[in-house]
Amino acid sequence: MITAPAMTFREWDGPLTTDLVREPAKFGLGQVPSRLVPDATTKAICGFCSTGCGLKIHLKDGEAINLTPDPDYPVNLGTACPKGWEALTVLDAPDRATMPLLHGQPVDWDTALKYFCEKMREILDKHGPEAAAFLSTGQIMFEEMAFLGALAKFGMGMLHGDGNTRQCMATAVTAYKESFGFDAPPFTYADFEESDVLVFVGANPCIAHPIMWQRVLQNKRNPKIIVIDPRTTETAMAATQHYAIKPKSDLTLLYGIAHLIIREGGLDAAFIRENTNGFEDFEKFVADFTPDRVAEETGISTECLAHFAKTIIAGTPRVSFWWTMGVNQGHQATRTAQAIINLALMTGNIGKPGTGANSITGQCNAMGSRLFSNTTNLLGGHDFKNPRHREKIAAATGIPVERIPDRPSLAYDQIIKAADEGAVKAIWFVATNPSHSWIDQNEMNRILDKLDFLVVQDMYCTTETAKRAHLVLPAAGWGEKEGCFINSERRIGYSPKVCRAPGQALADFHIFRLIAHYWGCEEMFRGWQTPEAVFRVLQRCTEDQPCDITGIEGHAQVRKLGGIQWPAKRMTNDEWRMTNERRLFEDGKFFTPDKRAKFVFDAPVEPPEQRSVEFPLILMTGRGTSAQWHTETRTGKSAVLAKMMPEELMLDLNVDDAKRLGIRDGAEVRVIAKRAELTVKVRLTSCVKPGEVYLPMHDARVNQLTHASFDPHSRQPSYKHSAVRVVAK
């Protein structure tokens, strides 16, 4: 176990996230200047992360002037992180897109939409349905994203569309589908409070999900907290056991733990027998993962491995496993997620309070995207290839069945490759900024610049992607439009319109309606007049699926009950209130045809880009502070948040490496990868091990360095393992 002594811990000199959450006023949060006295209050769901906190929005003359966290919302119970507190501030920025921009020039909507339709039609007519694609997002309401997916595929006839959730959740989706038979994260947030042992794998909730972390802190069972992360993060420092593994050695570690659990007799044999398939093969497979081998390959000592395994089985505690991007972003990501699932299955830690193999989602509506983006899956978690599913969705949506494609889309990276090869000629990006966030950025931008038609629909006209676009469509943001998100615990929450979008910016929903009109397919969407009408269409699409929400009365009921978790078949309000926390698999029945969960596994292989003499360090990337959101188009606009993040990009470098390289704390250095070179300042720390360095993803240049490799099953990019060298300037 490698734990940095607190004395040498040196993150940037800002406050810890727990302090920011507990004493927001001390840090200038919640001080939105307003001499106005609110005359009404309404409730919203935060539009940043997947925690899905409830916010009270204070209104004057129907317009938002301020917000406070909602003490009654079951998710956050009156707390919010810095981003939530500043959610209104970032709407007000000089670079908001207020008019459509065609080749950089402001034009009216009529001109923009005519151009959009002409250009897209020309490309689709001339080159076929594979020549134009859309790239959607986990950051708009699900009624909007479903409209986008349906409009582009059924209305306009595009075959390919994916989303930024490929960068984020694709691995969890694939893993759950294979293991459980449906993409179904089983937990409810109460599980944070009801576990005896919480195992976080590749997750840094103190920074990335601070309010979920608050729920962990409320656990009264004196839980053991295990963190598996190569870095000593804020979360690792708060843990009772931290295993600072070699980057991307998780698969070996988790198989090694499975081996020890079997050896120590820690199995739940009855659960395995009655509810799973494939255990015997798995048992044979992990026989090779002896402690000596695993210690050698992961850097974790055999004593630590034994301690870890014992913590999971001794006294049969309630164990919950949680994973995020340290797992989902990897060259063997799906199998790693499934190795976590296997541990939960073999110890019977699923379907009971305080247990589960739990993928934490990222964006506010990532879970909505998994059900309703109409990209990899047909609406409602259906299969494009299945004729019965197509018939069902045609009946549920009123869209002619022949308009529904009989195969799923290419994945994001395959769409980009097709663009490079000239097969895809137009891409329409909605609420995502891949010129900053996609892997191996220079390559990405080279390809984007080849497109015949690049459309960006965004709140801001200055994003790295918008700057390259032929056409920018100005969108309203969170708070300026209504609809529902689905959070990490499958809770559907409603968020209202509380302010006007600037200039001529329109809700994405209205942009899609207008495009349907200009395209001439509005008849197909005649039942899709309002977000709530689309909500009803989507409810029908979920009928008899594991995610069935046909029982919900509508938006009003979602608001009244403090959100509703799926599944939600018909129940009375009182029944719903009583089951406001729901977890899946309580009866041990999964969603596979024989209702059994499956042990899935594969041999570990080395990451594609290895250290070398020329590039001796492994670069990991991820979140920086709780105040920064992704490409910073929003959080970059708040003066209050600016005080909670480093002023410039800082590379975390181990003190021993620095000594060897003759680099001082704060010095400027060159970080060099095969693909590019950046100049950054250095922060000396023992939070990264020798031979490893870390950069937060929020700076626009970081993805110039990342090596483009992908998990073969989920096609999710592996952002956390690239080889670099650091040179003093």
Ligand X SMILES: Nc1nc2c(c(=O)[nH]1)N[C@H]1C(S)=C(S)[C@@H](COP(=O)(O)OP(=O)(O)OC[C@H]3O[C@@H](n4cnc5c(=O)[nH]c(N)nc54)[C@H](O)[C@@H]3O)O[C@H]1N2
Which residues contact ligand X by CB under 6 A? Answer: 49, 139-140, 164, 167-168, 201-204, 207-209, 228-231, 233, 247-248, 250, 324-326, 362-363, 430-434, 437, 457-460, 463, 475, 477-478, 508, 620-623, 626, 628-631, 633-634, 697, 702-703, 706, 719-720
Helices (H), 350-494: 366-372, 387-397, 412-421, 434-437, 441-448
> In angstroms, rounded to a whole number, what is the distance separating the alpha carbons of residues 655 and 658?
5
Residue 339, binding choice from Mo ion, ligand X, ligand SF4, none, Cβ under 5 to 8 Å by partner class: none
Read off φ and ψ for residue 109, nearest 5 degrees: -60, -40
Asked if 46 interacts with ligand SF4 (CB under 6 A), we say: yes
Unique residue bearing structure tokens 């995502």 = 432
Pick what 229 binds: ligand SF4, ligand X, Mo ion, none; C-beta below 5 to 8 Å, kind-dependent: ligand X
Provide, rounded to whole angstroms, the least separation between the CB of residue 241 and ligand SF4: 25
Residue closer to ligand X by CB (options 168, 669) is: 168
Q: ω into residue 567 within 30 of 0, thus cis?
A: yes
Stretch that binds Mo ion, among 161-169, 375-383, 409-417, 453-461 (CB under 5 A): 161-169
Closer residue to ligand X in complex, CB, 389/720: 720
DSSP states of 305-339: HHHHHHHHHTT---EEEEE-HHHHSSTTHHHHHHH
Within residues 50-69, the interface with ligand SF4 by CB under 6 A covers 51-53
CB atoms within 10 A of CB 34: 12
Q: Which of 74, 84, 230, 368 binds ligand SF4 (CB under 6 A)?
A: 84
Strand order in the sheet with 224-228: 241-243, 224-228, 197-201, 319-323, 356-359
User: Least CB distance from residue 293 to ligand SF4, whole Å?
Assistant: 40
Nearest to ligand SF4 of 84, 185 (CB atom)? 84
Transcribe 596-641 into DSSP letters: -EE---------SS---SSS-EEEEEE---TT--TT-TTGGG-HHH
77-81, long-range: CB < 8 A, 24+ apart: 77/214, 79/21, 79/22, 79/53, 79/211, 79/214, 80/21, 80/24, 80/46, 80/53, 80/55, 80/211, 81/17, 81/20, 81/21, 81/49, 81/53, 81/210, 81/211, 81/626
- DSSP-assigned beta bridge partners for residue 68: 56
**Applying CB under 6 A, which part among 46-54, 167-175, 314-322, 712-720 lies near ligand SF4?**
46-54
Alpha helices in 432-572 (DSSP H): 434-437, 441-448, 508-519, 531-541, 555-560
Q: Which of 210, 266, 434, 622 binds ligand SF4 (CB under 6 A)?
A: 210
What's at 380, amino acid-wise?
G
Site size toward ligand SF4, by CB under 6 A: 13
The residue within the footprint of ligand SF4, chosen from 131, 140, 211, 521 (CB under 6 A), is 211
Q: Among 53, 57, 159, 168, which residue interacts with Mo ion (rule: CB under 5 A)?
A: 168
What minimum distance in Å lies between the beta carbon of 494 and Mo ion?
22
Position closest to ligand SF4 via CB: 84
Distance CA(605)–CA(656), nearest Å, equals 29
User: Residue 89 touches which of ligand SF4, ligand X, Mo ion, none (CB < 5 to 8 A by kind)?
Assistant: none
Nearer to ligand SF4, 80 or 206 (CB): 80
Query: Least distance in Å: CB of 284 to ligand SF4?
Result: 43
Comparing CB distances to ligand X, the nearer of 207 and 396 is 207
- Residue 296: phi and psi, rounded to 5, are -60, -45
Q: Which does 709 bind (CB under 5 to 8 A by kind): ligand X, Mo ion, ligand SF4, none?
A: none
Q: Which residue has the tokens 């929400």?
A: 549
**For ligand SF4, the closer CB: 53 or 245:** 53
Residues that bind Mo ion (CB under 5 A): 168, 362
Residues that bind ligand SF4 (CB under 6 A): 46, 48-49, 51-53, 76, 80-81, 83-84, 210-211
